[in-house]
Structure 1
Amino acid sequence: MRGGNCPGPNVSSSQLPGDVSFFANQLAVPTVEFAFEQSKDEETTTYLSEVQFAIEPPETLDPLYKFHETIAKMTAEAIFRLVNDPVLPFYPLDVALDVQNKLKAVSMPPPALLSWATSLRDRAAFLQSETMRPANDPKEREPSHVRMLNDVLRDLEKSFVVPHAPPGVYRNLLYSLPGKTPQFSTLRFPQEDAGPAEETQRRASVPAPSQHGACDNQSLSLILAAVRSAEMLVCFGLGLFDDNNTGDGK
């Protein structure tokens, strides 16, 4: 914003330190946070939100409180939409495409995983299209069905939460470390976390391909189970649009 070097809004997963990280990364609760951040190319990075400041006082970062005003307006607009939109403005196709994008970094993924990911994408696209009906047509808003549809949209990410994540990996498999790396962190970190001593011991005790294969297979099994769970939830959402469930007597 300063010096005209901001290319535009940058929307990514909320992986900043603090409470927001726990809810998004560990519980898969849909989370949004608005912030201004100086360019990464600068020597120091200053982060500004409505509640968190760097060492510099807010008067130095935002002397006229214009950034604060913008953040407050965007936050209020988001709350207004979440409260008033009949259908939550969540897009299941984004989740499915994110899964497929992360699978591109997997070397020789199992055909079953690719098949389930493709099926999730196709069904998610169909569900996203179907949600436009109650979103735009009041006649399509049978209260109990809209409520169940919103539950599906809200809980879709929870399909990717694992009970016990490997060390250094979020329970929400959709989120990676660092945040902008398009790869399943559960596949990356078990192989990268080992230090030189652990690596030497591993090579002396177990052939590398076997251990990596076991690690990958376990991680891939977690991902496959998550994708299948997500597709089951999407299918439930699609079932709400069957002719027998529209509430119009058909």
Structure 2
Amino acid sequence: MALFSPLNLPHGILLLITDGLAAPADFVLHRCLATHLKENNKKSRTVILSVSENISRWKALASKSNLSLQQHLDSGSVDFIDVLAEVQPPAGKVDDAGSAPAFQAIFKRVQDILNKNHQEGNGSGPALVILDDITMLEWIGFPLLEVTRFARALGATCAKANATLLIRHHVVGGSNDDVDDLFRHLVQICTYHLEVRPLASGRSGTVSGEVALHPGFSAPCSNTVKMIPRSAALQYRLTDSGPDFFAKGTSENVL
């Protein structure tokens, strides 16, 4: 799956995307969505689990990539699930014997969609599932245990269906250097970890931030994907049509 150049990653992975207030990763999610839909037309299924943004926001950003999200919603190739319209933080104690009970209905919907995509066998490639953003679930009162169980169950069912799963996590404190318990769990189950970071010197007119790509604990041993360490992070500039990427110090040579 060519998420978008230069981030060409394979199908069937769990990609953890971290960001902060100074450099939000909206452009990553929406570019991945646009690329996936354009590559697969209206055949392969896409599931958007949105916690903090409504459907109008997703449509508006999709239009910047010359993509009519409404057409895909109408055709059934995209399923949009407003998570907070479906579930509320539990008032009582989490059942240790259960498996993210508050999210069971949402998990079952995703599972049914992925199973149907597999059964249809339309040859259009694996499905795409986007969870944006998982951090909000913990912030509004869902226990960490329940949130991590949901992430693990979602990852397992996507892996079984060879679907690509993107999870965005806003790091606590707004800096990728601030590691929290939720991040520690997510990095253990992800295949790759994409960091979106602000420039240390602050945002400039020609550079919006930088990205780095790290292997997760579930990355294959014989990894053919080229990692991007912080020391060689790619910089990006946001434009009306999306992000332009370039190596440090070469803002005129867009990748």
By relative contact order (CA 8 Å, sep 6+), the higher-ranking structure is: 2
Question: Which structure is higher in helix share?
Answer: 1
Q: Same fold (TM over 0.5)?
A: no
Question: Which structure is higher in strand share?
Answer: 2
Compare CA radii of gyration and give the structure with the larger one: 1
The bucket for the TM-score relative to the shorter chain is under 0.3
TM (norm. structure 1) is 0.26
